[in-house]
Structure 1
Amino acid sequence: MMEKKHDILICVDSDGCAMDTMNIKHMKCFGPCLVEEWGLEQWREDIQKRWDEINLYTRSRGINRFKGLAKMLEEIDRQYTKIEGVQALKDWAENSPRLSEAALKQEWGKNERDAVCLKKAYEWSREVNRRIDLLEEAEKLPFAGVKEALTAAGKNADIVVVSSANRSAVLEEWERCGLLDCVNQVMAQDTGNKAHCIQILLEQGYRPERMLMAGDAPGDYEAAVKNHVYFYPICVGHEEESWKEFTAEAVSRLEQGTYGGSYQSGLVERFFQNLEG
């Protein structure tokens, strides 16, 4: 448990929010590994396009990797070829409180009869992580202005990374880019979903009206709403401008108690309009 230094807490997502890594990971790692693990090479182009739609360009952007996988495999099962055991993966992804590799491995131990898809999902996730590790450093950099924004915010707020990504990848990327020194704690996939992470932080004594979740996906917004904390959107395609406004206005409003109401409503409306094109 981290030491609480300020009464303000800012939670920050990693991929696609602080780090300009989301597109490259889905296009070079997640999608291709899906095609290879399930032998879907004859439909590679169409499946990759649909994977990107689900995970990058619509309201399901930022969905947990296993939820996204279950959704994609359901579609493949209906439209292309039978996916053995897909219902077991769907049920686990919808109901498990912890969507991690360890939890997935534990699940197939309880469900050997329908474990084919669960085991393949585990192997897929492991291979995704391996390929992410092999990406060039130049392909895994923060958006412009992130370090400056977190450094400035950290003068009056505790800052925690709240990500659904693999912990080792988050730690490696943030340390290499000099961002770990800007945060007090890292909470990743192994801790639980984002709503659960925020709940844990609230239990450490922070008040909801003094907390903010910065993210680039509807799931970040939903995690904030579920815990009655504020949300700050990093808009896809406008990340640098979003971080500039975060520093210039959002943090000071959070400090002064004027973040809610019309200001946040305007941000949220702009955020969803941007995702809808």
Structure 2
Amino acid sequence: MIQQAEESKSLEPKKEYFIGFDSDGSVFDSMEIKHQECFCPAFINIYNLQGVAKIAREVWNFVNLYSKSRGINRFQAVLRATDLLKSRKELNERHLLCPDTNELRAWIERETKLSEASLSLEVRRNSHPHLRQALSWSREVSIAIRKIVRNIPPYPIVPEILNRASGKADLMVVSQTPGADLKREWVEYDIVKYVRLIAGQERGTKSEQLRFASVGKYDKNKILMIGDAPGDLAAAQANGVLFYPIIPGAEEKSWKRFSDEGLERFFTGKFSGNFSDNLLADFDAALPENTPW
């Protein structure tokens, strides 16, 4: 992991501009299938939530798809989902215990690289059953993704945007998806040729990835992060760089506006101000903060 971080730090600019692209839900329409068919079924299975499967699915989807926590790291998602499950009366009514995630929480609080590989190393040192449970869940998710997630091309206009953008900007994938999955997906559709680096969860948080690869190497008004989740915006804000939202539910419209207007505004220094402010207002309104129950 240290070597991977150093690779990001050593990435030298070849162009005047830098653009970081989130992958799941931004470049690829893959959030729904991954969470509905891979993450959530494994969550119900490994955490023994069969008796409240409908409630567990509602909670999981709210956390990961339909709220401001959309796009968070997979292990943080388990914590958030189990915390919300505790507020559901159905568990008490059916005499079911909410999963115990205290050991996972402690690991998350002290670990800087929240990846399956990091958790595997932790389990070798501390074979607590709840850590082993989290690792089993993550592995089941990864197996399901490799088995199920295919035939999902990028949003139609994205390859053309990548081609245009790469003429003036160094491009990078900034993601919390495992790096191997990212590489497979970007290679499958022949768009890996446009990016200088693919950064997955093994390379730290999105904020760290952006900082290591771009900050101090490009003017900050020439660095742009593109993503569909509040965590992508937070990463941009933490580094003082620009952000373009891919609004959930309006992804193709968002990409068309970026192609028609946003990319040129970025390259000509006209991105900040009313254009950016209006985009951020629309983005903020797209996802709720509070649960509907």
TM-score normalised by the chain length of structure 2: 0.88
Q: 1:240 aligns with which of 245, 248, 252?
A: 252
Q: 2:58 aligns with which of 45, 49, 59?
A: 49
Aligned 1:19-58 pairs, distance under 5 A: 19-58=28-67
Structure 1 residue 204: Cα displacement = 6.3
**One-letter identity of the residue aligned with 2:73:** N
Per-residue displacement from partner, 1:120-144 (whole Å, max 9, x unpaired)?
A: 1111111101110011522x22112
**One-letter identity of the residue aligned with 1:93:** I
Say whether 1:208 aligns with 2:217: no
Q: Which residue of structure 1 aligns with residue 134 of structure 2?
A: 121
Per-residue displacement from partner, 1:46-92 (whole Å, max 9, x unpaired)?
A: 10111001100111111111101111123345643435641121232
Structure 1 residue 240: Cα displacement = 1.0
Structure 1 residue 107: Cα displacement = 3.0
Alpha-carbon RMSD across the aligned residues, in angstroms, is 1.8
How has the CA–CA distance of structure 1 residues 129 and 144 changed in structure 2, closer, same or farther, with 3 Å as cutoff?
A: same
Structure 1 residue 25: Cα displacement = 0.4
Per-residue displacement from partner, 1:161-215 (whole Å, max 9, x unpaired)?
A: 0010011111111111111112111011110110010110135612221100000
Q: Which residue of structure 1 aligns with residue 261 of structure 2?
A: 249
- Matched-pair identity in %: 34
Say whether 1:61 aligns with 2:76: no
Distance 1:109 1:84 in 2: 22
Distance 2:119 2:160 in 1: 38
Distance 1:275 1:135 in 2: 27
Q: 1:170 aligns with which of 161, 164, 182?
A: 182
Q: 1:12 aligns with which of 14, 21, 28?
A: 21
Of stretches 2-11 and 121-130 in structure 1, the one that deviates more from structure 2 is 2-11
Distance 1:256 1:63 in 2: 32
Asked if the contact 2:17–2:168 (Cα under 8 Å) also holds between the matched residues in 1, the reply is yes
Aligned 1:255-266 pairs, distance under 5 A: 255-266=267-278
Q: 1:224 aligns with which of 229, 236, 241?
A: 236
Asked if the contact 1:67–1:94 (Cα under 8 Å) also holds between the matched residues in 2, the reply is no
Asked if the contact 1:153–1:247 (Cα under 8 Å) also holds between the matched residues in 2, the reply is no
**One-letter identity of the residue aligned with 2:121:** Q
Of stretches 85-94 and 25-34 in structure 1, the one that deviates more from structure 2 is 85-94
Tell me, which stretches of 5 or more residues in structure 2 are unaligned? 1-6
Of stretches 142-151 and 22-31 in structure 1, the one that deviates more from structure 2 is 142-151
How has the CA–CA distance of structure 1 residues 50 and 85 changed in structure 2, closer, same or farther, with 3 Å as cutoff?
A: closer
Distance 1:265 1:57 in 2: 22
Q: Per the alignment, in what secondary structure is the counterpart of residue 15 of structure 2?
A: coil
